[in-house]
Structure 1
Amino acid sequence: MIDIRRIVTSVEDIFHEGGPCAETPLRRGSIAAVLTNPYAGRYEPDILPMMEALNPVGLDMAKRLLAAMAVPASDIQGYGKGAIIGAAGEQEHGALWHVPGGYAMRELLGWKGDAAAYAKGQSSGGQSGNALAIVPSTKKVGGPGCTLDVPLTHINASYVRSHFDAIEVRVPGAPRPDEMIVILAMSTGARVHARVGGLAADAIAKWDGQR
């Protein structure tokens, strides 16, 4: 069911955005896999088999991205995911990436929750470790070369305002109508000139994935 045509990885270091240079540049990275959409061109009522098939893809992509960013897992502070579906598919096909993509990064970064409950969209009571926050996501149907702004938030608390960010992802020549692109993204910190207040990363208190 999984036929990958291309994998594109991008890593950038941001030193400043017009203000003073950061002591440590912000590193952001993304990885995008272009694969055949087995449901393209028709309405398929049961698409869940592909979600299961994508689980190892998510883990492999998360590991590839972390290796490309060349930092330890403990340095990752932000993450996000997304999907672009070719014109012969539908937006719901991109939703198949929510569990495989999100769980893969959370597992790699130290999440200790209930994977079965997470896969069913249920509360993962008793979660611990790192990567407590839900992984933000976006998806759309688009043609070859279209871009997707993938949202990023703090891995342990969705309300950490300094880490609200987005990274633009584009794969030239993809997706073809019968393809889809699944995307993961990570960052090492806050926006380089973050200064709009709100909950700070060092003030996370509840450890519930939100505040």
Structure 2
Amino acid sequence: MKLRKLVTLTEEVRSEMGRPVQPPARRALAAAVIANPFAGAFTDDLSELIEMGEALGELLGTEALAALGGAPIEGYGKAALVGENGELEHAAALLHPKLGAPLRAVIGGGKALVPSSKAIGRAGEILDVPLGHKDAAYVRSHFDAMRIRINDAPRPGEIVVAVALQQHGRPLPRVGGLTQDQITGADGLR
């Protein structure tokens, strides 16, 4: 894997609409800018990207967790922005077959699917990384996203791959639904 750049972003919300957020809502995102080995050419075998996804799950998970000081994680997400000489399937190969298992290992587990998004774009495009609870997909307080814009990425032959982690849900959630204390953790949904 040819890694050009690693970017880490942290956020801590302490107040929302003039009200204190206790505990503060903390989250972090780690993104890698990598060369796309299949830029400009079609191939049936995307196993090289699949293997890169596995390595990126560990690398980006470790970086994002370190940015949060190794604190317990309640939610996660992943996303990829493919440069213009690539295709969405390149993002899918990075994100879906193998990225999740090493990410879960880094944060100490997770039963829910890791929410994801994929897009094609040019340098400076915004990449939205969806977030959801790591053990129960129906916990609405954790439906969120982090955004990142890297001014010089992705170049046409590159891909930006990102992982986001959250220590808590949104600040001051109040739209109802399953709450964290109601999670049974049996199926990744509830």
* TM-score, structure 1 as length reference: 0.86
Equivalence map 1:91-102=2 (5 Å): 91-98=88-95, 99-102=97-100
Any conservation in 2 of the 1:82–1:97 contact (CA below 8 Å)?
no
Amino acid at match of 2:123: P
Shift of 1:19: 4.2
What is the alpha-carbon distance in structure 2 between the residues aligned to residue 34 and residue 189 of structure 1? 27
Any conservation in 1 of the 2:55–2:99 contact (CA below 8 Å)?
no
What is the alpha-carbon distance in structure 1 between the residues aligned to residue 150 and residue 38 of structure 2? 21
Shift of 1:104: 2.1
Equivalence map 1:26-37=2 (5 Å): 26-37=25-36
Specify every segment of 5 or more residues in structure 2 that has no aligned partner in the other structure, as ranges: none
Amino acid at match of 2:16: E
Q: Which residue of 2 aligns with 1:117?
A: none
Any conservation in 2 of the 1:101–1:184 contact (CA below 8 Å)?
no
Given the superposition, is the C-alpha separation of residues 90 and 15 from structure 1 closer, same or farther in structure 2, using an over 3 Å criterion? same
- Corresponding position: 1:157 with 2:136: yes
Specify every segment of 5 or more residues in structure 1 that has no aligned partner in the other structure, as ranges: 112-130
CA deviations over 1:96-142 (Å, ceiling 9, x no partner): 1223432222122223xxxxxxxxxxxxxxxxxxx110100001000
Any conservation in 1 of the 2:49–2:94 contact (CA below 8 Å)?
no
Helix, strand or coil for the counterpart of 2:63?
helix
Helix, strand or coil for the counterpart of 1:15?
strand
Helix, strand or coil for the counterpart of 2:99?
helix
Q: Which residue of 1 aligns with 2:42?
A: 43
Shift of 1:87: 0.1
What is the alpha-carbon distance in structure 2 between the residues aligned to residue 104 and residue 180 of structure 1? 20
Question: Could you tell me the percent identity over the aligned residues?
Answer: 41
Helix, strand or coil for the counterpart of 2:169?
coil
- Give 1 or 2: higher strand fraction: 2
What is the alpha-carbon distance in structure 1 between the residues aligned to residue 52 and residue 103 of structure 2? 16
What is the alpha-carbon distance in structure 2 between the residues aligned to residue 54 and residue 198 of structure 1? 33
* TM-score, structure 2 as length reference: 0.95
Q: Which residue of 2 aligns with 1:83?
A: 80
Equivalence map 1:186-205=2 (5 Å): 186-205=165-184
CA deviations over 1:54-107 (Å, ceiling 9, x no partner): 3223212211111111132xx211100000000000011000122343222212
Amino acid at match of 1:85: V
What is the alpha-carbon distance in structure 1 between the residues aligned to residue 27 and residue 19 of structure 2? 19
What is the alpha-carbon distance in structure 2 between the residues aligned to residue 140 and residue 53 of structure 1? 18
Shift of 1:20: 1.3
- Corresponding position: 1:21 with 2:23: no
Amino acid at match of 1:168: R
